[in-house]
Structure 1
Amino acid sequence: MQLPPEDRTLSPHTGYTRAHWEAAADALLAAVEPYATEDRALYHLPGDRESWSGRLSDGLEGYARTLLLAAFRQDATALERYADGLAAGVSGVWPRIADRSQPLVEAASIAFALRITKPLLWDRLDDAVRQRTAAWLDERAHRRGLALQLGAVPGHGGRFLSSVGHDPDASRKAIDRGLERIEQWYVGEGWYTDGDGRKFDYYNGWAMHLYPVLHAWLAQDDRLLDLYGGRLSRHLDDYARLFGADGAPMHQGRSLTYRFATTVPLWLGALTGHTPLPPGETRRLASGALKYFLDRGAVDSRGLLTLGWHGPDSAVLQGYSGPASPYWASKGFLGLLLPADHEVWTAVEEPGPAERSDAVTSIAAPNWLLQSTRSDGLVRLHNHGSEDVRYDPYYTRLAYSTVTEPSESYDNSLIVGGDPNRTEIEPLGVGEGWAASRHRAAGGARVSSVVLARGAVEVRAFLVSGAEPGTPVRVTGWAARDGVRAELLPAVGLDDELSGVTGEGDTLFVALARLTADADAVPLGETVTVRAVGEGELTVVWSGGSETRVRLDGSGVEITAGG
């Protein structure tokens, strides 16, 4: 991909400016064009993988997701091609939209793109094409199940239809149903779950916040914008901390192949005026993420986004991931809707949170603890509140970071009786420098766990209850990565192999962990001392002499800071 020369005056951290985003968008659009069908209604991108929705749906996905990119770019020439594809698609090429199907999600992208390019695309269509398009979207807009867990696309077809005066009463009802549905997933302090349960991931930004906030902004509905924009602004307080100094987003949750779609809430806050972040920090974080992926092989020799993270990587895919799925990364170009003279584009880049200082930040809604260190720019996420309905390594591991990914050897796990499953996670709270939870382990055992963090150092404590005496227990730490040192030391109840066995009653296991790229870090064993002082009780003495006392039992955790 050919990009302009870096500008280290305006953008001292990334070198990227608006011109880099424009060039990247143009290159991605040019690369997919050869894979359009003759009528331009479908984009069949190459690859040996097909999603569970099938080839026709995958082709529609290719059209819809790259249309979004052309819409954000406001590229009139490209939009003419997509207008041709739209006319063919709604004339019988595209699959009908079935409730809870992948075409339902793609219809949201099409409706959204039509709404933000109305003078360039919709207004130039023949009236017959507009009517067929409205009828195709109408099938979607009036379904009661339209607010999917798959991307939270509440009422977006209805919103577009309402904006062009199509059946306004029915369209309004579709909008209201969608907003009501997403309200069920709001848990407070700017955080939504990814559908039912306690699944916290990037869908907060690229779906749950995006669609309601943009609807309110485009509709000029101040009441809704205050509500949803206020939630977005609060979310960004936490969200900005999920990026490492190298631009990497946190490697956690599903659909990671969308890559720099992680920039959506950053741009959305600036676009609508609902952000706590300075303009230079917004662009630094967003450009950092784009540069991170472009520098690491996200685009192949044909200029296509691959199914993966850096390059191709099947580990980050889901059953619904097809050849065009990565192009939801198009959402990351939302910032191009900001005019070139907007302060986000003209301000000098400012450092992100991971570059400013060491920080340990508790986030109550998902019950997470974020730990960042300025010396190496790493961010670590300690997970004591998020899980999928099944065991999923991208939701249920104890910790994630911006430089590691879940490994097949069950990193960051407590393995009881040879079983790494961690289910029925129940948050026990977060506080200054700590997070705790309870979960079910193998054989019906219950585990109360707490992590204490300071600098790059972690103390991980586990109280195992209800296990048969003599049940083997093993603690694992961070997966090793080039240029990063992963350390794990036994402290209580564990041998040098980080293994132990349960006793007659509740049994305490404690380990020290550290993930660092700081070559000058003092030995882990010299940073902290742990003493067991009773059943489920321990005292942690940090270098410098300050103490933290911990008490774990089957019902909760108590943390007391000493002198």
Structure 2
Amino acid sequence: MPEHPRPTAPEEDRTLSPHTGCTRAHWEATADRMLAAALRYATPGQALIDLPGPPSKSGVRSDGLEGFARTFLLAALRTAGASGKDPHGFLERYNSGIARGTRTPGRDDAESWPVIGHHGIHGQPMVESASVALALRLTTPWTWDTMPAADQDRLEQWLRGALRHTPAPNNWYLFPLTVAGFLESVGRGDAETRRGIERGLDLLDGWYQGQGWYSDGDGRSFDHYNGWALHLYPMLHAHLAGDRALLDHLGPRLREFLDGFTLLFDANGAPIHHGRSLAYRFAAGASVALGALTGMTPLAPGVTRRVLSGALRHFLDRGALTADGVLSLGWYGPHEATLQRYSGPGSPYWASKGFLALLLPPGDPVWTATEEKAPAEGPDRALALRAPGLLIQTTGRDGLARLHNHGSYKLDSREPERAPGNPLYARLAYSTRTGPTSAANTPDNHIALQARGTRSARVRINPLAAGPDWLASSHRPVFPEGGPVLPSARIESLTLARGRFELRVHRTVGVPAGTPIHHSGWAVAASPEAAPAEAEQRAEIRLDGPEVTSQLLGLYGWQTQRTVRAPQGTAYGPWALVPELTGTVEENPAGTVFAALASLTGEPGASRLAGQATAEVSGLTVTVRWADGARTVVDFGDGGPTVTTDRTAAGDPA
């Protein structure tokens, strides 16, 4: 089949979209460009799309199905949103691929799709079956309804493999739900499909933790999967099925989720850099579009489009697409540390979910309203989400968003804790303009003990307490295998957000006196020349990067400070610097408490932290006096930490 010409980018519209310049036409043109680029790598029979790049652990054939399924979803959103208009003939190629791929599933040839197996045993095709099923459901008149009966039967049998095998114990249970929803929508439902839907919904309710957040399976894994999977699949199923009862049950959760989640998009469009599968990038906006599509959103239409278009443009402007239009494996460009073992060349195309807003007709207010500011561009906010253990902090002057983690970790309840931990979950804080350092480098935003020359990791995070602008948690310091063990030791950590400032207080429990303790701040992607000389370093560490300034100041308990090099860099640059404080645990109660003031800002010429706050400690009570006259008292009593703030004399803290 002939290659598709590269679509021409529309002109910006700064009247309708003063913040991004993007309109619906830009979304359509981007979808067309991505599809045209991906389809150049289709097999002759169109059944697999073998995109360039290193294979995933599932192998090349599974990766080829992944490339097909995830781009098929993009083609479906593009076509369904245009009421079936398909000027580039994309669906014709996907129809051909489905017929060829399901003719002899499992055969070792150039076109046959792999069969769907159990998780861990050829299970990846189950993930892709959901994209195929959802795409078919969106395009039934132009795909399924045009297929010969024999092709429909073969396709159904392949899809039913998702209903007959065991998913991973997390969001994977929503893939059979999605497959079952499609089969029922085309009159092929039965007891097996009903069980698939009921099982998924029952598990979903069990994973719901409150405040709009689901854990990704048992445990406390909270990340972007909450939006682009756990809300998306069941809510979209309810919407397409016209199931009002299910929409009324799940919809308020989505609305509450979006009320906080949309703060985690930077004024520059970037979503928060936290959790796994970040190569999906602007799929982070899928739940924002879903809220508008189902009427379950707290956002005005102009705000919805601002968030969605901001995220899309953020990545397009920074090179997420290669020169030939392929979505790369990484964040901006290729970045190995961003990936997981299951990431293959087709994996990034779950970003297709970010195009969900195309299902809204061109006349919908999301497309016709004038863009408004993003939520992060409003007043400074500190929002403590007790259920997932996440503290959101935004500052309107620079539009930067930060996420302080006191409750999310990626670890099955049956798994042991192992160092070094997952950098995408184990850090104390994440932002929209910084990324975590590699597991092989000094960790940013970390608290660690040192014993026998090795440092501890933070793996399983246990929420302790919360207030309107603060959260606290504890963890057991874990050392590398074969390293030291500190019986009954733990570290309690507390973060309080105030304007651009972060008060970070830690307490050690059961840690031997004389043990070194280290605390790091925000990593900054920078050049080696930006590292201050050791002799020039003062009590306050300041690191100026191209877009942000990181500052860290010890308030109590810290004895030395330095800047550490992270030569593997972050997703934001190939080389980075990390500020670090070091102290020593002492015998007396006050010697087990450590306090610091941190800041990450995009404002140029940020003022020094010195003088913004002072701290004194009596026993296990920390009293912090702010420059504006306010006073914060942190008490690490036996019942868990408590915080009181006297704002009587407080003004603007920033």
Shorter-chain TM-score: which interval? over 0.9
The Cα of 1:141 is off from its aligned counterpart by 2.1
The Cα of 1:362 is off from its aligned counterpart by 1.1
Letter of the 1:69 counterpart: L
Please identify, of 450-459 and 78-87, the stretch whose mean Cα deviation from structure 2 is larger. 450-459
Kept in 2: contact 1:153–1:207 (CA 8 A): no
Kept in 1: contact 2:377–2:396 (CA 8 A): yes
Give the match for residue 423 of structure 2: 393
Kept in 1: contact 2:216–2:222 (CA 8 A): yes
Kept in 2: contact 1:192–1:208 (CA 8 A): yes
Give the match for residue 560 of structure 1: 644
Q: Distance in 2 between matches of 1:276 and 1:483?
A: 30
Q: Distance in 1 between matches of 2:277 and 2:619?
A: 42
Structure-to-structure mapping, 1:31-46, within 5 angstroms: 31-46=37-52
Q: Distance in 2 between matches of 1:224 and 1:154?
A: 17
> Residue 298 of structure 1 is aligned with which of 320, 326, 348?
320
The Cα of 1:415 is off from its aligned counterpart by 1.4
Give the match for residue 630 of structure 2: 546
> Residue 69 of structure 1 is aligned with which of 68, 74, 78?
74
Kept in 2: contact 1:146–1:155 (CA 8 A): no
Kept in 1: contact 2:173–2:200 (CA 8 A): no
Kept in 2: contact 1:527–1:543 (CA 8 A): yes
Structure-to-structure mapping, 1:403-482, within 5 angstroms: 403-407=433-437, 408-417=441-450, 418-442=454-478, 443-444=486-487, 445-481=489-525, 482=546
- Spell out, residue by residue over 1:213-268, the C-alpha distance to the aligned partner (whole angstroms, 9 max, x if none): 01111111111011111111111001111101000000000000000000100110
Q: Distance in 1 between matches of 2:25 and 2:66?
A: 27
Kept in 2: contact 1:466–1:505 (CA 8 A): no
- Relative to the length of structure 1, the TM-score reads 0.97
The Cα of 1:24 is off from its aligned counterpart by 0.2
Q: Distance in 2 between matches of 1:155 and 1:149?
A: 10
Give the match for residue 432 of structure 2: 402
The Cα of 1:2 is off from its aligned counterpart by 4.5
- Relative to the length of structure 2, the TM-score reads 0.84
Q: Distance in 2 between matches of 1:527 and 1:42?
A: 59
Give the match for residue 92 of structure 2: 80
The Cα of 1:150 is off from its aligned counterpart by 4.4
Aligned to 1:35, the other structure's residue is in SS state coil
Structure 1: which 5+ residue stretches go unaligned?
Answer: none
> Residue 94 of structure 1 is aligned with which of 113, 128, 151?
113
The Cα of 1:424 is off from its aligned counterpart by 2.8
The Cα of 1:161 is off from its aligned counterpart by 0.9
Aligned to 2:175, the other structure's residue is in SS state coil
> Residue 524 of structure 1 is aligned with which of 598, 609, 628?
609
Give the match for residue 334 of structure 2: 312
Kept in 2: contact 1:410–1:476 (CA 8 A): yes
The Cα of 1:530 is off from its aligned counterpart by 1.5
Kept in 1: contact 2:170–2:218 (CA 8 A): no
Q: Percent identity?
A: 50
Q: Distance in 2 between matches of 1:257 and 1:113?
A: 21
Letter of the 1:98 counterpart: G
**Residues 337, 124 of structure 1: CA spacing in aligned structure 2 closer, same or farther, 3 A cutoff?**
same
Higher helix share: 1
Give the match for residue 19 of structure 1: 25
> Residue 239 of structure 2 is aligned with which of 217, 233, 242?
217
Kept in 1: contact 2:613–2:624 (CA 8 A): yes
**Residues 291, 265 of structure 1: CA spacing in aligned structure 2 closer, same or farther, 3 A cutoff?**
same
Q: Structure 1 segments of 4 or more deviating over 4 A?
A: none
Q: Distance in 2 between matches of 1:182 and 1:396?
A: 25
Q: Distance in 2 between matches of 1:180 and 1:34?
A: 41
The Cα of 1:503 is off from its aligned counterpart by 1.3
Q: Distance in 1 between matches of 2:38 and 2:211?
A: 39
Letter of the 2:42 counterpart: A
Q: Distance in 1 between matches of 2:472 and 2:428?
A: 10
Q: Distance in 2 between matches of 1:62 and 1:280?
A: 33
**Residues 504, 296 of structure 1: CA spacing in aligned structure 2 closer, same or farther, 3 A cutoff?**
same
Q: Distance in 1 between matches of 2:189 and 2:129?
A: 18
Letter of the 1:178 counterpart: G
Letter of the 1:71 counterpart: A
Aligned to 1:119, the other structure's residue is in SS state helix
Q: Distance in 1 between matches of 2:319 and 2:332?
A: 5
Letter of the 1:292 counterpart: H
> Residue 327 of structure 1 is aligned with which of 343, 349, 355?
349
Please identify, of 352-361 and 293-302, the stretch whose mean Cα deviation from structure 2 is larger. 352-361
Q: Distance in 1 between matches of 2:603 and 2:360?
A: 38
Q: Distance in 2 between matches of 1:553 and 1:199?
A: 28
Aligned to 1:210, the other structure's residue is in SS state helix
Aligned residue pair count: 561
Whether 1:493 aligns to 2:523 is no
Aligned to 2:255, the other structure's residue is in SS state helix
Aligned to 2:496, the other structure's residue is in SS state strand
Kept in 1: contact 2:162–2:175 (CA 8 A): no
Q: Distance in 2 between matches of 1:152 and 1:412?
A: 34
